[in-house]
Amino acid sequence: MELIRPDALYQQLASAIRSDIRSGEYSPGSLLPSESALCERYGVSRPTVRQALAALRSEGLVIVQRGKGSFVRAAAGPPAVTLERAITRSAGRYIDPDTEWSQVEERTAYRATTDATTGPVLGLDEGEAVFGCDRLITHQPTGTRALVRTVIPFATAAGADLGSDALLRPQAEVYAALEAAGHRLTWHERVTARVPAPDEAAALRLPEGVPVIVIRRVTGGNEGPLLLEETTISAEATQADYVIVPQGRATARKSGAGTKE
């Protein structure tokens, strides 16, 4: 087959292989022809073949196994993990939802400053003092991993009588402490998808080409944001479940992360 379209050769080759994958000529999980075979079939150089395969890897269509070759990525099954995003209370107490998750590593709190991302989310200028905590957790039934980052401004911690170890406490206890300090809590969540950074992919044990979803929850109080919680997890293995209630009711939340009493 000769490639004659005006696009760059590697783009033409990637398009041809992509079409073969979608047509079923190369089924999910099957081994693609070798680089030399693709060179011969399409009349292109080895660097062109490698560029085309790299493009398909970035799309998540192809994975490479060292010493074995390039394979069509297997079709994803149903999500293995459902994240229940409702804020739950029972008998006047917040309930921690993470009963099926365990820590991979011991978590530690640290001091940091807001950056161009966390500052605006928390209503702070860049460079303001915060406590932070990064956790790597695993879902016991499935082995799915998640990265959880929590950030609380110094002023919030001091106002709620939370020390530097505040972020080592369960989520429910932090919410309770903020409420006890006189805050009427609200929650806002935003979900985005992106390509993981190399260190994130390694920590989460993600196959090549798998994106992540990032769920950013901001806990608000009487005068603005109090707490940021950010969960990064495989988009392929995860679905998020929300309780939606109409705005204007006592339990309404902007994000639809409802409260169960």
Q: Is 8:52 a contact under the CB 8 Å cutoff?
A: no
* pLDDT at residue 193, rounded to an integer: 95
Query: Please, which residues bridge with residue 233 across strands?
Result: 146, 213
Per-residue pLDDT tens digits of the chain, which is 261 residues long:
555 555 688 999 999 999 998 898 998 889 999 999 999 998 999 999 999 999 998 887 888 877 888 988 877 677 889 998 988 888 888 887 777 899 898 888 899 999 999 999 999 999 999 999 999 999 999 999 999 999 999 989 888 888 767 778 888 889 999 999 999 999 999 999 999 999 999 999 998 778 999 999 999 999 899 999 999 999 989 999 988 878 765 444 444 344 444
Which of 26, 51, 72 marks a domain boundary?
72
Please identify, among 72, 106, 124, the residue that sits at the C-terminal boundary of a domain: 72
- Which CATH number do you get for residue 91? 3.40.1410.10
One-letter identity of residue 219: T
> Which structural domain range is residue 122 located in?
81-260
Structure tokens at 102: 């365990």
Q: Which helix (H) or strand (E) holds 226?
A: strand 225-234
- The confidence score (pLDDT) of residue 5 equals 54
Rounded to whole angstroms, the Cα distance separating 116 from 261 reads 36
Which letter does DSSP use for residue 172 in this model?
Answer: H
Identity of the amino acid at 84: E
CATH number (domain holding residue 46): 1.10.10.10
